[in-house]
Amino acid sequence: MVGVAEPAAAGTYRVLARKYRPRTFAEVVGQEHIVRALTRAIARGRIGQAYLMVGPRGVGKTSTARILARALNCVQGPTAEPCLECEPCLEIESGADVDVIEIDGASHNSVDDVRQLRDTLATRPLRDRYKVVIVDEVQRLSGSAFDALLKTLEEPPSHAVFQFATTDPHKIPETIVSRCQVFEFRRLREEDVRLKLVEICEREGIAADEAALAALARGCRGGLRDAESMLDQVAAVAEDRITLDDLELVAGLARPERWLDLFEAVAEDRGDDVLRAVAGFLERGGTERDFVEQAADALRDLLHVALLGEDALGVEPAPERRERMRALAKAFGRDRLEAILGMLFELEGRLQRSPLAARALLEWTLLRAARLGRLLDLAELAERLAAADAGAPGGTAAATSAAPPPVAAPASAAAAPAAPAAPDAERSSRTTEPVPAAASDFASLLARLRERRPTLAECLERNLLTGRVESDRVVVELRPPSEGDRAMLEDPVERGALERVPGSPGPWELCFLEDSSGPPDPVVQSLLDTFGGQEESP
Ligand SMILES: [Zn+2]
């Protein structure tokens, strides 16, 4: 999301995100669990020496770190309610306190930076009670900087308190993490962000439609700072009150109805309207990735309606929209919603790999999602026909509501041809063709796959080295596939199709062996990258 530069000329003007940054624990929004733990620790005098604040950007990690610094160093402290008026409180606020050192891990990431820090910490605080070090984006430190930091953390001076903040804890060495108290910051609830925006608008005298603030809260995905920055931008250009149209123009947040339009077009396989929806979104200034993010949000709502009923919605939609969502959730059904959501997640990865083909990839994915309804219908039909063919007893029609696959006991179950809890369809196909679950069974699974999904089967065979059926899974070893084949083999929809092959004991684990054949033809590869290299299944 776009950041907002502070206008230099506007003397007293402060961007909203900074103006409304929380200054006390009580003002921190949506992180009650952390506030509770910290205030309790301060009250009991149990101050840790190293804290790791983990969480998405803009949810209050560094603000909380500063509040803790103030709580520790306030002249009336240590106190959970710093006075905000003494020198340390004021100077920490403005970043001028000599004993509170704030570092950006992105720009101060060398071993020398850490050594310098260690030297600074060796002496006692100049004025305050503690020397507090706040390192933002700590995951950006270099390997040798982490090593140096670890030495300091192993024997920290008693007057030092470290607070590290990170969006990506997996990039921090375990040796460091294990020496920290870890606080996991949550994304804010949409409703909390909305209430905060309403409060800011009231205090700033900004007029805004309720629907616009709700959409803004939603669009920022739980990041309060982003929401505040966006409010700044929109307020600057809105005529007299902020509307959904302003949001669309300035922030690239599509009106909720547009997603309903899009998904209705997808549900009914109206390719022309799908393409128009994409064109409209991009013309209004959003990017393909914005599109995917927002579409996934809208789709998730539909999935919630399908699974939990319409009460599951956080923000009250208008009655007309509510009706359309209910109808859409019903038209799609859970399986198809999950499948399309999977395609969108897959698309996110592809957009990163092939940014130049972003629009083509987006359109192709949506068109494919539109076709998916027919494919699922066909697959279901085929399954029913197969079951009927096998002369299964009356219960077969209920195959779609089958019990979950059996949890196989290790050795004994492998010898039993039909597990007791197998879904009806599977059991019936096994009665006609009682194959023991041995290595040779893989060939017949493959044959069944070929009948159902010839394109997928071909793709698998093209790269196949070995395959074997185990009691609860199928293990397949493959040559390193082309990018296109790989995309197909990793596609969640296709993976689901593999698992649903009658007789399959569970998920298919596809292992790609190391590449030994040298790089693929660059021209072919770039075509495959661009177009995903995947053919439509019938
Ligand atoms: Zn104070």
What are the residue ranges spanned by the domains of the chain? 16-184, 190-251, 280-373, 437-538
**CA-CA distance, 262 to 271, in Å (whole number)?**
10
Query: 531 C-alpha to center of ligand 1: Å?
Result: 60
55 sits in the region (left: phi over 0; alpha: psi -120 to 50; else beta) called left
Cα-to-centroid distance, 114 and ligand 1 (Å): 29
pLDDT for 518 equals: 46
Cα-to-centroid distance, 266 and ligand 1 (Å): 58
- Distance, CA of 150 to CA of 176 (rounded, Å): 6
- Whether pTM > 0.85 for this model: the answer is no
Q: What is the pLDDT of residue 423?
A: 42
CB hemisphere CA count around 31 (13 angstroms): 32
Alpha helix stretches (DSSP H) within 464-521: 483-490, 492-499
Q: Which fold has domain 16-184?
A: Rossmann fold (3.40.50)
Q: pLDDT tens track of the chain, all 538 residues?
A: 333 444 444 445 678 888 889 999 999 998 999 999 999 999 999 999 999 999 988 899 999 999 999 999 999 989 999 999 999 999 998 889 999 999 998 888 889 989 989 999 989 999 999 999 999 999 999 999 999 999 999 989 999 999 999 998 888 999 999 999 999 998 888 889 999 999 999 999 999 999 899 888 888 878 898 899 889 888 988 888 999 888 887 777 777 788 989 999 999 999 999 999 999 888 877 889 989 988 998 898 889 888 887 666 655 556 777 888 889 999 988 888 999 999 999 999 899 888 888 999 999 999 999 987 766 666 666 777 777 766 655 444 444 444 444 433 333 333 334 434 444 444 444 444 444 443 358 888 888 888 777 778 888 888 888 888 888 888 888 888 877 788 888 877 778 788 888 888 888 888 887 654 444 444 445 555 555 544 444 4
How far apart, in whole angstroms, are the C-alpha atoms of residue 390 and residue 304? Answer: 37
| Ligand 1 midpoint to CA 82 (Å) | 5
Ligand 1 centroid to Cα of residue 282, in Å, is 50
DSSP 48: -
Give the Å distance between the CA of 237 and the centre of ligand 1. Answer: 39
Question: Residue 29 Cα, ligand 1 centroid: separation in angstroms?
Answer: 21
What class, spelled out in words, does domain 190-251 have in CATH? mainly alpha
- DSSP type of residue 378: H
Distance CA 289, CA 359 (A): 10
As a whole number of Å, the CA-based R_g of the chain is: 29
Ligand 1 centroid to residue 202 C-alpha, Å? 29
81 Cα to the center of ligand 1, angstroms: 8
Report CA(24)–ligand 1 centroid distance (Å).
11
Partnered with residue 53 across adjacent β-strands are 165, 183
Q: Are 275 and 359 in contact (CB under 8 A)?
A: no
| Span from the CA of 122 to the centroid of ligand 1 (angstroms) | 25
Note residues around ion ligand 1 (Cβ under 5 angstroms): 74, 82-83, 86, 89
Model pLDDT, residue 384: 72
| Cα 50 to averaged position of ligand 1 atoms, centre (Å) | 22
Per-residue HEC secondary structure of 288-345 comes to: HHHHHHHHHHHHHHHHHHHHHCHHHCCCCCCHHHHHHHHHHHHHHHHHHHHHHHHHHH
Closest CA relative to residue 451, chosen from 524, 391, 382, 371:
382
Position 205 scores a pLDDT of 92
